[in-house]
Amino acid sequence: MIVSQILKSKALDGVLTLTSDASVSDAAAIMSDKRIGTIVISDDDGKTAAGILSERDIVRELGRNGAACMGKSVADMMTRKLVTCGPSDTSDAVLAKMTEGRFRHMPVIEDGMLVGLISIGDAVKARLSELAMERDALEGMVMGH
């Protein structure tokens, strides 16, 4: 399955973003409220991705510097060097990049613009769906259907 198909199957359309001058505390509150593990940082109303901030980033900084980090801006803590994918990438390629980089969320970029966000859960769900269809096709061939 390709990324564009995965994005179409997601319940939410678009990507939740926050500006780089927002506080880490605000980001954490949004992640908690929305029950999400990351937020894309964008200073142009979600057109492009300047970075990404994950719950792991916050916990790592809390461990290093304590609760004072919650008052910092997300720009101080976000990952700026993004690993991204495109709409035509496969779920296998996305899973490989995530596994290699040890992260769980990947912005989807098309022509330099942010068009979506894929989670490892999205990619695994797509891959499991593919495997189920392959299994059903093979069973049909074996049974003569």
Instruction: Give the model confidence (pLDDT) of 24-53 as tens digits.
Output: 999 999 999 999 999 999 999 999 999 999
Sequence spans of domains, the chain: 3-143
| Full DSSP string of 28-96 | HHHHHHHT-SEEEE-SSTTSS--EEEEHHHHHHHHHHHGGGGGGSBGGGTSB-S---B-TT-BHHHHHH
CATH of 3-143, one of 3.20.20.70, 3.30.70.360, 3.30.450.20, 3.10.580.10: 3.10.580.10
Instruction: Give the model confidence (pLDDT) of 14-25 as tens digits.
Output: 789 999 999 999
Element (H, E) at 10: none
Cβ atoms < 10 Å from Cβ of 24: 22
Instruction: Give the model confidence (pLDDT) of 84-134 as tens digits.
Output: 999 999 999 999 999 999 999 999 999 999 999 999 999 998 888 888 888
pTM for this model (two decimals): 0.86
